[in-house]
Amino acid sequence: MIDSPYLVPPGKKIRLKDFKPDDTGDFKDRQDAEYQSKKNLEKVHELQDVIYAQGKHSLLVVLQAMDAGGKDGTIDYIFSGVNPQGCQVTSFKAPTPLEKSHDFLWRIHAAAPAKGMIGIFNRSHYESVLVERIHSYAPKEVWKKRYDHINAFEKLLVDEGTTIVKFYLHISKKEQAERFQTRLDDPTKNWKFNPADLDERKLWDDYMAAFDDLLERCSTEHAPWYIIPSDKKWYRNYVISDILLKVVKELDLEYPAPIADIKNYKVV
């Protein structure tokens, strides 16, 4: 677990209203943050090559946010330079009939990264204590048990060699409105607009309460949550790159040893 002002301390009561979505930390200049983000990611991309070659560790990055929170943009910026053979992105939409016929973690477990891989979840198993809770797709006696199921599932992954880091991209309601309006105004972004998002926006307070509960109950020593200020995309990118680099550096990484007599070979 990486120490950070944005860490949700395990076992502590938290409320999102106490975190500033427009925070920019100590940076006074956007260019300085972008420069540091670039340096962080260069190192992350170097270390990802070792993760893939070594085949010993797996890394799972979980992204959750309100609509227009920046999940796609984060994935594009943070992971655009990694070896695509060692990275997989899974976007969880509404479950299919087959997925509904299994337990709520069945499709999640199937998407967990193998050793040597970085897996990114664009939305995740936490939808089962968000959308299903808010829209009553699952009764309270079902979804209230899922926090413990999720914690146990994540502990299983960690015990088997997966490092988990979870980012909640924290935007303000005002920022969401501006991003929705951009999707309406910019022809190149019209395809992103979904009228259903406006219906979900009306449930903002319900979502905040649900996020408060899941962040508080599911930030653990083995799979911590970080609340990332995301009104400013450049600062969001910096904070995530900084935490991610520290997480990867903590892994026991080294390239596999070459074959014993490698020096005896010559290319002719």
Q: What is the pLDDT of residues 60-90, one digit of tens each?
A: 999 999 999 999 999 999 999 899 999 999 9
Cα atoms in the 13 Å half-sphere on the side-chain side of 208: 15
Alpha carbon distances (Å) from 174 to 68, 101, 170, 201, 239: 11, 39, 12, 11, 21
Q: Is the pLDDT of residue 111 over 90?
A: yes
Contact between 143 and 128 under an 8 Å Cβ cutoff? The reply is yes
User: Which tokens in the block code for residue 108?
Assistant: 């999640």
Calculate the average pLDDT of the chain: 96
E strand spans, 207-259: 225-229
Report the first-to-last Cα separation within the chain, whole angstroms: 49
**3 state DSSP class of 68:** coil
Query: How sure is the predictor about 58, in pLDDT bands with cuts at 50, 70 and 90?
Result: very high
pLDDT digits (tens, 9 = 90+) for 130-182: 999 999 999 999 999 999 999 999 999 999 999 999 999 999 999 999 999 99
pLDDT at 252: 92
pLDDT digits (tens, 9 = 90+) for 83-109: 999 999 999 999 999 999 999 999 999
The residue-averaged pLDDT of 197-210 equals 97
Contact between 22 and 234 under an 8 Å Cβ cutoff? The reply is no
User: Which tokens in the block code for residue 200?
Assistant: 């979900």
**Lowest mean pLDDT, pick from 3-7, 227-231, 239-243, 256-260:** 256-260
pLDDT at 268: 87
pLDDT at 1: 83
Q: What is the CATH number of domain 16-250?
A: 3.40.50.300
User: Which tokens in the block code for residue 125?
Assistant: 């198993």
Contact between 86 and 117 under an 8 Å Cβ cutoff? The reply is yes
pLDDT digits (tens, 9 = 90+) for 185-195: 999 999 999 99
57 CB contacts (<8 Å, ≥6 apart)? 51, 115, 116, 161, 162, 163, 251, 252, 253
What is the C-alpha separation between 3 and 10, in angstroms, rounded? 12
Amino acid (1-letter code) at residue 245: L
Q: Which residue has the tokens 């899941």?
A: 214
Helices (H) and strands (E) in the chain, counts: 11, 5
pTM value is 0.95
